[in-house]
Amino acid sequence: MSTSSTTTSKMTMGLIVGNRGFFPDHLAKTGREEMMRVLQDAGIDVVVLGPEQSKHGAVETHEEAKRCAELFKSQGGKIDGVVVTLPNFGDERAIADTLRLARLDVPVLIQATPDAPSHMTIAHRRDSFCGKMSACNNLKQYGIPYSLTKLHTVAPSSAEFKADLEWFAGVCRVVKGLRNLRIGAIGARPAAFNTVRYSEKILEHNGISVETLDLSEVMGRISRMKDDDPAAVGKLNAIQKYVSTSGIPQQALLKMAKLGAVVDDWMRAADVKISAVQCWTSLEENLGVVPCTIMSMMSDSLLSSACEVDVCGVLGMHVLALASGTPSALLDWNNNYGTDPNKAVCFHCSNLPKHFFRDVTMDFQAIIAGTVGKDNTFGTCVGRVKSGPMSFARFSTDDLTGKIRGYSGGGKFTDDPLETFGGAGVVEIPEMQKLLRYICENGFEHHVAANFSTVAPVVHEAATNYFGWEMYAHGA
């Protein structure tokens, strides 16, 4: 499995250009051309009516709405989101009809182009400021969720819309990545960790399936794998390229390689995208290694993997990775940091992706070595977490209400001094005591997904607007 710390695939957007006949329709022509140029400059492919299919390639009549919907449906599997641009007032019915008939079930962004005070004559006045309200009113009537630009009106070529588009692209990636998601749960949760209980049924109701694999099956497949099996040899080479293994017994490395090869093969066969693993203590007692490096490698390749079978934890990791295109980690909200109320130590033993570290080396798992023996705990990735912006998220299934709920926010990893073991870093989050009180009052888990990014607003929009999950946006 190759390591890729940053990746976002090319996106495709459907474009609806609003138009209304008794407003200047030359604005629809130039507005379409400007928005297409902006999207293409952002590396986005555009699906839009051409001027030979409707007047100026815009949508105004019901027939044009049908035509645009058919075009979208013909490209439906490719379209990640829809941008509705209003260069003039636009016809709200045609916009809503297009989206209803296309049935794409993707995020929608509504943009309205501002008027200029020097161009307010009948030949140039847009009235998009007003038309946006009518378009949104109709979409609300039709039951079609939509997103808004930060400013009510914003020019497509502006820096402000560039930021809106980047945010919206993240929302589209999250929504697409959660549709029909399959999560692998490898092993049972540790008996001592009631905190990671979750409801498969609630996840399934939200379009997320959980595929289980018993650790006995993993052990059996490993026992039947020969030392020179190409999959094991390939994984061993990948491990040694990924992290320094100085001082680690070769036999332990081979066990890790076989474990990784078995998990890779099962995930491919089961069409599983991300995983949550029982990392203690069965693997240590029965195989003689920890799975941390294998999990770290998966997370660093954007195939997020969470410890302690925290399925909702890996869901948070995956959402952050989708939003940012960079690896996520699952951390404990672990310690206070001195007397600073806005700082804390985040820690795990660790399986953090290499992307998170200043430098990283393989070691043994110090916490459980006293229970199962040091020689059975090789395979952790340890080091100091680097400094940088931090986005965090947590999701949880609430069996009492039958809903998914969560929280998200932002802060930063700092360079504050810290002498400890495992994978650890100091975080600084504005009003952190308020966040900690919210976590405790609402019974959230002590695990949190983290990412080097500023994508908390993306997570909140996707989760609340397009999935209907109950979210707290810290610091919003």
Q: What is the pLDDT of residue 376?
A: 98
Predicted confidence pLDDT, tens digits, the chain (476 residues): 334 456 678 999 999 999 998 888 899 999 999 999 999 999 999 999 999 999 999 999 999 999 999 999 999 789 999 999 999 999 999 999 999 999 999 999 999 999 999 999 989 999 999 999 999 999 999 999 999 999 999 999 999 999 999 999 999 999 999 999 999 999 999 999 999 999 999 999 999 999 999 999 999 999 999 999 999 999 999 999 999 999 999 999 999 999 999 999 999 999 999 999 999 999 999 999 999 999 999 999 999 999 999 999 999 999 999 999 999 999 999 999 999 999 999 999 999 999 999 999 999 999 999 999 999 999 999 999 999 999 999 999 999 999 999 999 999 999 999 999 999 999 999 999 999 999 999 999 999 999 999 999 999 999 999 999 999 999 98
Nearest to 47, CA basis, from 113, 112, 98: 98
Determine the Cα–Cα distance for residues 290 and 269; give it in Å rounded to an integer: 23
The CATH number of the domain where 353 resides is what? 3.40.275.10
Residues in the chain: 476
Determine the Cα–Cα distance for residues 43 and 177; give it in Å rounded to an integer: 19
- What's the total number of domains in the chain? 2
The range of the structural domain enclosing residue 263 comes to: 182-473
Residue 2 falls inside a structural domain: no
Written as six digits, the tokens of 332 are 């404990």
Written as six digits, the tokens of 415 are 């360079």
The CATH number of the domain where 172 resides is what? 3.40.50.10940
Contacts of 1 (CB under 8 A, 6+ apart): 235, 238, 260, 264, 297, 298, 301, 303
Give the global pTM: 0.97
Residue 330 near residue 310, CB atoms below 8 Å? yes
Q: Please give the backbone phi and psi of residue 77, each rounded to the nearest 5 degrees, phi first.
A: -70, -15
Cis geometry, peptide bond prior to residue 326 (ω within 30 degrees of 0): no
Determine the Cα–Cα distance for residues 351 and 91; give it in Å rounded to an integer: 53
Residue 239 falls inside a structural domain: yes
Q: Output b/e per residue, 235-272; b: 16+ Cβ within 10 A.
A: bbebbeebbebeebeeebbbbbbbbbbbbbebbeeeeb
Of 178, 203, 225, the residue that ends a domain is 178
Residue 20 near residue 91, CB atoms below 8 Å? yes
In a shared domain, residues 143 and 278: no
In a shared domain, residues 310 and 170: no
- Helix extents (H) in 75-112: 92-102
Residue 264 falls inside a structural domain: yes
Edge to edge, the sheet with strand 11-17 lists: 44-47, 11-17, 81-86, 108-112, 147-148
Q: What is the pLDDT of residue 3?
A: 40
In a shared domain, residues 251 and 149: no
Residue 1 falls inside a structural domain: no
Nearest to 390, CA basis, from 302, 471, 449: 449
Please give the single-letter amino acid code of residue 226. Answer: K
Please give the single-letter amino acid code of residue 147. Answer: S
Q: What is the pLDDT of residue 8?
A: 72
How far is the CA of 298 from the CAs of 1, 306, 329, in angstroms?
Answer: 8, 10, 11
The DSSP result for 351-363, as a single string, is: ---GGGBSS-EEE
In a shared domain, residues 117 and 220: no
Of 154, 178, 202, the residue that ends a domain is 178
Please give the single-letter amino acid code of residue 115. Answer: D
Residue 457 falls inside a structural domain: yes
In a shared domain, residues 206 and 173: no
CA angle centred on 390, ends 388 and 394, rounded to 5°:
160
Determine the Cα–Cα distance for residues 26 and 168; give it in Å rounded to an integer: 27
Q: What is the 3-state secondary structure (H, E, C) of 261-296?
A: HHHHHHHHHHCCCEEEECCCCHHHHHCCCCCHHHHH
In a shared domain, residues 411 and 452: yes
For the chain, helix, strand, coil in percent to 5 are: 40, 25, 35
Q: What is the pLDDT of residue 2?
A: 36
- Within a 13 Å sphere around the CA of 61, how many CA atoms are in the beta-carbon half? 9
In a shared domain, residues 354 and 421: yes
In a shared domain, residues 15 and 144: yes
Written as six digits, the tokens of 95 are 């916009």
Of 159, 178, 197, the residue that ends a domain is 178
In a shared domain, residues 138 and 61: yes
In a shared domain, residues 174 and 241: no
In a shared domain, residues 140 and 250: no
Centroid of chain to Cα 269: 23
Question: With 0-12 CB in 10 A as exposed, 13-18 as middle and 19+ as buried, what is 28?
Answer: buried
Residue 4 falls inside a structural domain: no
